[in-house]
Amino acid sequence: MNNTAENLMEPCEEAPVYVIGHMNPDTDSICSAIAYAYLKEKVNGKPYYPRRAGQLNLETKYVLERFGFQEPFYLADVRRQVKDMDVRKFKRVLSCLSLKKAWEWMADLDVVTLPIVDGEGKLEGLITERDIAKSYMEMNDPAMLSKAHTSYKNLTETLAGHLVVGDPANELEHGKVLVAAANPDIMEEYIEEGDIVITGNRYESQLCAIEMNASCVIVTGDVPISRTITIQAKQHGCAIIATPHDTFTAARLINQSIPIDFFMKKSDLITFCRNDFIDDVKDVMAKYRHRDFPVIDKDGKLLGMISRRKLLGAKKKSIILVDHNEKSQAVDGIEDAEILEIIDHHRIGSMETINPVYFRNEPLGCTGTIIYMMYKENGVEIPANIAGLLCSAIISDTLLYRSPTCTPTDREAAEALAKIAGIQTEEHAKAMFTAGSNFANRTENEIFYQDYKKFNMGEKSMGIGQVNSMNHDELLVLKDRLLPFMENVRKESGLDIVMLMLTDILEEGTLLLFCGEDSREIVSAAFQCQADENSVYLPGVVSRKKQMVPSIMSSIQNETN
């Protein structure tokens, strides 16, 4: 197998742009991400990638299946990762490489560490300049070459010679290195079987070494090897190497032919994977203080090397946010990402950006409506399946036009999209809501988090979820199931108040469940009603965005004042 090595920087491909909605995504969040990614790709001629920041609810799953879409990949955290760095790539540095060649490659490549792989590319070990320098200082054993199973190929390359007799793939198995400086009579006293003998242009010394069953004779001075010596060497199974170096230089260089396998570090290697986060990588690098660290894949194959100085150059992930603009609702690590755009229809929240961004926020019932308008503005034809997604998003967010957030623009958009998609809004809405309100076989966790958002209102931190159903009795059953669960959520997440809207689509009202200190007083003041200990029915209240959040916020502000 050839010793080969390559060193190059991984091509700096254009960073992917992810389009993603809020955590605990609803139908609008997912459908808008998919539709907007498609629009951006058509306008800019490069790929955009829709992603999800949580598990999908049954309504959204139904919509995706209905229009032939796979679930977007889950993106749990957008902090920078190893894969966002420039990785110095190495290919096929094998353990049979000589110390001399390894040192030369380090100099040529301007590195202090070489990663060593096997024939399949899996990382076997590491060798550093320090390891090689240490080996030169501590290598006093004349039998070191045979102990390291040095190949004749390495010997020949290191001595800049050529193999007159022998197989370059063969290895030294036993014996010591010695210089034939004495006459043959004395040499017979100290040459043993398997030894490696360095000698000059001395026929008698060469013949003596062969007859004493030396494994290899190294002839210095670039002199011709006699035919008799060649024949004798073949008969005795002795290799002959001719080198242009003098005897002193050959003796000094020969230990550099030892394969790096003998000195490289093979155990307790500190490695990283492409998906490791830069924050975690920094901590490890600070602890071990190595210059370079290998990056491997899940099968242990080497992908390249990274260094401490490259951490600062790690590219931030490029993100487009849809259907939210609050940090508390965003995917983890959003503060470490580069936000390029925000497309939303909610109140302006707490999101901060380093650079100016394209921010489109309109007082409409659904983000999908805004994206529909952007298709029209850009003159991009809407495919039937994309139209189905956007229509579903509007139906979901406006509760089929029943929500006070619904505007004539939303309704016009939904009906136009339905025509493109070839669906009837009433029939499709019923199928969607029925799919989403099948609670009997779902856990409290699945029900509660299917559409859940966090808010900071003054000094209060709050989580508000919403469950929609066309079955009033089904919602009443959920009260006893979910109230204890909500209290656990509040304690575990450190929130002051947790609420859940059980919204009856047909009756156009909400049974509001709540827990937390002062929650009863806040709800009673917000809706001018007498709430029970942990629930209240609110006729006409169906919108979290336009009715619930503003009313609760106003109540908290009044309480503070």
- pLDDT tens column, 381-408: 999 999 999 999 999 999 999 999 999 9
User: How far apart are alpha carbons 134 and 172 in whole angstroms?
Assistant: 23
Instruction: Specify the pTM.
Output: 0.73
Which residues, including other chains, have CB under 8 Å from residue 220's CB and lie 6 or more apart? 198, 199, 200, 201, 243, 245, 246, 247, 249, 250
CATH class of the structural domain 17-80+317-436:
alpha beta
**Taking CA 163 as the corner, what is the angle to CA 131 and CA 126, rounded to the nearest 5 degrees?**
20
Higher pLDDT, 188 or 42: 42
What tokens were used for 254?
């020969």
**Which pLDDT belongs to residue 10?**
38
CATH fold, domain 444-560, is Diaminopimelate Epimerase; Chain A, domain 1 (3.10.310)
Residue 107 has pLDDT above 60, yes or no: yes
Please report, for residues 155, 163, 199, 224, the alpha-carbon distance to residue 213 in angstroms, rounded to integers and kept in the order given.
Answer: 19, 18, 15, 21
Residue 104 has pLDDT above 60, yes or no: yes
Q: What is the pLDDT of residues 342-387, one digit of tens each?
A: 999 998 887 888 889 999 999 999 999 999 999 999 999 999 999 9
CB atoms within 10 A of CB 89: 16
CATH class of the structural domain 140-257:
alpha beta
Domain with CATH 3.10.310.20 in the chain: 444-560
Domain with CATH 3.90.1640.10 in the chain: 17-80+317-436
| CB half-sphere exposure, 448, CA atoms < 13 A | 23
Q: What is the pLDDT of residues 488-522, one digit of tens each?
A: 999 999 999 999 999 998 889 999 999 998 999 99
Domain with CATH 3.40.1390.20 in the chain: 140-257
Residue 289 has pLDDT above 80, yes or no: no
**Which pLDDT belongs to residue 13?**
54
Mean predicted confidence (pLDDT) in 222-249: 93
